[in-house]
Amino acid sequence: MKNIKDIELQLSDTIKKALQIIDSGAMQIALVIDKENKLLGTLTDGDIRRGLLKGYTLDSSIKDIIFKNPTVATISDTKEDILRKALEKKIHQIPIVDHENRVVGIKEIEELVKPTTKTNKVILMVGGLGTRLRPLTEKTPKPMLKVGDKPILQTIIEKFAEYGYLDITMCVNYKSDMIREYFQDGSKFGVSINYILEEQRMGTAGALSLLKEKPTEPFFVMNGDILTNINFEHLNNYHFSNNSLATMCVREYDFQVPYGVVNIKDNRILSIEEKPIHKFFVSAGIYMLSPEVLEYIPKNQFYDMPTLFKKIIEENKNTASFPLREYWLDIGQMEEYKKANEEYYEVF
């Protein structure tokens, strides 16, 4: 995804400045944003030419000639979603916005049809015991349970590969030989796989202290029992644009109280809410971390992600939440495993 700093305009800018930006850039487009980085519209050479024909001059403001309803994609759109939108509208670039309409980048359609390899590392936590899925996990590690026609872990790897993230490390423990034997060095899946053996349970973050080669750029961490259609490239760009030290993917979760809730003060009833629904954001088990985060993780100790985030927050370092809108399922119990198999072919 392209950086947009060189193609940004404000409503108060002149047509002359817009021409300079468009002519100097390879994308032939400018994005018009407000002070909060929210997208107001786009501007192309064609928009400017039409404005000049209407009598506007080079010193006129761009505010009356911008295209105010551009086609955009959101950070939760998959590569297929973006490509479909672009082809339908016959456009070569499409701005990417978050769920508050803030611009995080711009995607060129040529990039979507031409695979590119990214250098960000992917760390997969696949050492869990899967006790809640017994008896299925008595002989098979949970990430190797089949959903559809392949192991859960294979689908995860293929989704990362789809976005060009091929450098994968697996943190293994329980029945690790089955995982190693199936994936080997990853070449038959188009990726490169290294393994870290957890001699003891290390938690969702502790195994990061065992990395032989420390990442030099932001890297992904993901639990090995999750099925999702997340756009990993958008997560990477979102982490960067928010200048975040640690980014956590979050999922909205709602819980309905099965009773009427009575709000009281002292002995007086203030109100009654009938079966209210409470909404929360929960961790989705997918993270983007900057290399500096590794300094917070103790060596060879159990350490989980919530503890890591608490430590970073306590030190007033910047963290970010990446809300998931796309398909996501944590296969932790038998009910979710059955649901995953029912939905797999429709989603993937």
pTM of the model: 0.68
CATH superfamily of 5-113: CBS-domain (3.10.580.10)
Q: What is the 3-state secondary structure (H, E, C) of the chain?
A: CECCHHHEECCCCEHHHHHHHHHHCCCCEEEEECCCCEEEEEEEHHHHHHHHHCCCCCCCEHHHCCECCCCCEECCCCHHHHHHHHHHHCCCEEEEECCCCEEEEEEEHHHHHCCCCEEEEEEEECCCCCHHHCCCCCCCCHHHCEECCEEHHHHHHHHHHHCCEEEEEEEECCCHHHHHHHHCCCHHHCCEEEEEECCCCCHHHHHHHHCCCCCCCCEEEEECCEEECCCHHHHHHHHHHCCCCEEEEEEEEEEECCCEEEEEECCEEEEEEECCEEEEEEEEEEEEECHHHHHHCCCCCCCCHHHHHHHHHHCCCCEEEEECCCCEEECCCHHHHHHHHHHHHHHC
| 67 CB burial (10 A radius; 0-12, 13-18, 19+) | middle
Q: How high is the pLDDT of residue 26?
A: 62
Q: How high is the pLDDT of residue 268?
A: 86
Phi-psi region of 183 (alpha: psi -120 to 50; beta: other; left: phi over 0): alpha
Hey, what CATH topology would domain 118-347 get? Spore Coat Polysaccharide Biosynthesis Protein SpsA; Chain A (3.90.550)
Q: What are phi and psi of 312, to 5 degrees?
A: -65, -40
**Cβ partners under 8 Å of residue 346, min gap 6:** none
Sequence ranges of the domains in the chain = 5-113, 118-347
Q: How high is the pLDDT of residue 246?
A: 93
Per-residue tens of pLDDT for the chain, all 348 residues = 556 778 889 999 999 998 888 877 666 788 999 999 899 999 987 788 788 878 888 899 998 999 998 889 888 888 788 888 888 888 888 889 988 889 888 888 777 666 578 889 999 998 776 666 677 777 777 888 888 888 889 999 999 998 889 999 998 887 878 888 899 899 988 899 999 888 788 888 888 988 888 899 999 999 988 889 888 887 888 888 788 999 998 887 777 888 888 888 888 888 888 888 877 788 889 999 999 999 999 888 888 999 999 999 999 999 988 877 778 888 877 787 788 788 888 877
